[in-house]
Chain A
Amino acid sequence: MKKYQQTLETILFRSSSEMRAEVAAGSMGMFIWILEPLLYLSAFYIIFAALELRGGKDAVPFLLIGLIVWKWFAYSVYRGAFSIWSAAATMQQIYVPKYIFLFSTLLSGFYQFLIVFVCLILFLLLYGIEPNWGWLNLTVVIFLQFFLIMGIAGLFAALLPFAPDLQVVISNGLTLIFFMSGIFFDVSSLSEYYQRILYLNPMVSIIETYRDILLTGHIHNWSSLGIVAIVTIILNTIMIYLICKWDKVYPKVLPA
């Protein structure tokens, strides 16, 4: 029991200190987390206007929701994937269960997301979108996205020390998924053929669900969320198995 409490204390302290370290490293502090999606938004808004992709009254919230949710996913998958790798020096000195590095990195990304997400909610209220009880469904999708990130980032974190070339797959894969996640277009407006392909990407369903909840107050597609949940459970099971199996192998393969 004492051991679990110690592990929990370590994860919680490490996650909050990682976040503070990141704030301290920059000159703009937390403001950069809000500024970055806004810069993205303005870039995409200009492209929207030029290409007449999606106008209408909800264009800005539509884009902003997609961008903020994506940002959390991409940032955490990338940082999480390197979490075991970047702790190489520490693990040569002391025994630390390797999942501590992954969980604390992901929690730190989650805190950042929550701060930006509160700003998004405030923006939506100012924009004139009425809050409703359906927004409570956000807990479901946030919870699901956290575990989806954990499964994907954890799998890469487990494999990266053995196959450093995966770095290329991670960075290019994230760029590819970015364009296939329906961040700046509505996937349901595409032909059925493309929809079938794009729905293989779980982030499509996640982003759609955020938009459904925030803009209409309902989750329209529970079945696709169910599929994402099943994928998430499978990914996390494999990830936990691998990280536990190789817990004492990582210090042998990673450079001191």
Chain B
Amino acid sequence: MAAQNEIALRVDSVGVCFKQKKGFFQKSDFWAIENVSFDILHGETLGVVGRNGVGKSTLLKVMTGIIAPDRGHVYTYDNNVSLLGLAVGFNQNLSGRDNAIMNALLQGVSKKHIENKLDEIEDFAELKGFFEQPVNTYSTGMRARLRFAIAIQVNPDILLIDEALGVGDASFSKKSAKVIKDRILMGQTAMIVSHHVDTLNELCNRVVWLDSGKTKMIGATEEVLDHYKKAPIV
């Protein structure tokens, strides 16, 4: 068990560059994030704010190891980091059960563990009678519920959440947001990227403000959000 205030993850001067096609055989560099640094401490919830296009999604990809930084480092100290997988795709011709196993395996959950949790997933996703049917017969809401029910089976040391805490209709959204909030309140180390100031105020110990691919401010939630709200929109 790691001690509180011990660093769980360090993002150190990270920059990520994408190649943009300019013409025939011509490409130019575009730095989605240029110089971002911060730490996440064990047991804390760090919020990330920033306008659209400042590099929040790219930052999440670097932190989860989906892409490698072109400059700087992400130190995870052997902690596993994973993004709450609410957008992982399904194989439309397979049943909800098969997709649950497949997605969980891809997200690093063992087959034995997920097989033991299938009934729980079916119940939580409220899929009675549909779990054995192909996913292409599901409504959008059913798919979102199934994705969420699978995603919460992944138990990383550091959980990254992109925007939404809850999914689906009003009642499921409340139920799913509660699961995440409970997990955070139980001491899950987490990072929430969100535009919802209220959510960040409620759950985060500290907030990082990203602007133009750089860390603009980092500090206590209230203080950073106060500055963020007052900042002129460019």
Contacts and interface: CB of A to CB of B under 8 A. Distances in A.
Contacts, number: 74
B134 A93 contact: no
Interface residues of B, number: 28
B204 interface: no
Contacts of B173: none
Nearest to B105: A10
Interface in B109-163: 110-111, 134
B61 A251 contact: yes
Interface stretch (A13-21, A29-37, A56-64): A13-21
B123 to A, nearest CB: 23
B93 A94 contact: no
Nearest to A10: B105
Nearest to A14: B102
A94 B93 CA distance: 22
A94 B83 contact: yes
Given A20-B94, A24-B94, A24-B134, A94 B66 contact: yes
B65 A95 contact: yes
Given A9-B110, A24-B134, A95-B66, A17 B89 contact: no
Interface residue SS majority, chain B = loop
B61 A92 contact: yes
A17 B92 CA distance: 11
Nearest to B81: A95
B18 interface: yes
Contacts of B53: none
Q: How large is the interface on A (under 10, 10 to 19, 20 to 34, 35 or more residues)?
A: 20 to 34
Nearest to A91: B66
B102 A6 contact: no
A6 B105 contact: yes
Nearest to B88: A93
B89 A9 contact: no
B106 A10 contact: yes
A248 B68 contact: yes
Interface string A216-256: 00000000000000000000000000000000110111000
A96 to B, nearest CB: 6
A110 B97 CA distance: 24
B102 to A, nearest CB: 6
Given A91-B66, A96-B106, A20 B98 contact: yes
A235 to B, nearest CB: 26
A95 B64 contact: yes
A14 B51 CA distance: 38
Contacts of B94: 17, 20-21, 24
A25 interface: yes
Contact of B87 (A13, A93, A251): A93
Interface string B5-19: 000000000000011
A89 interface: yes
A80 to B, nearest CB: 17
Interface string A77-109: 000000000000111111110001000000000
B98 A9 contact: no
B101 interface: yes
Contact of B65 (A13, A100, A248): A248
A252 B67 contact: yes
B98 A17 contact: yes
The 6 closest A-B pairs by CB, nearest first: A21-B93, A248-B68, A10-B105, A24-B93, A95-B65, A9-B111
Given A6-B105, A96-B106, 16 more contacts: A10-B106, A13-B101, A13-B105, A13-B111, A14-B105, A24-B134, A93-B83, A93-B85, A94-B88, A94-B106, A94-B107, A95-B66, A248-B66, A248-B67, A251-B61, A252-B18
19 contacts: A5-B110, A9-B105, A9-B110, A13-B101, A17-B101, A18-B91, A20-B94, A21-B91, A21-B92, A21-B94, A93-B66, A93-B83, A93-B85, A93-B88, A94-B88, A95-B65, A96-B106, A249-B68, A253-B19
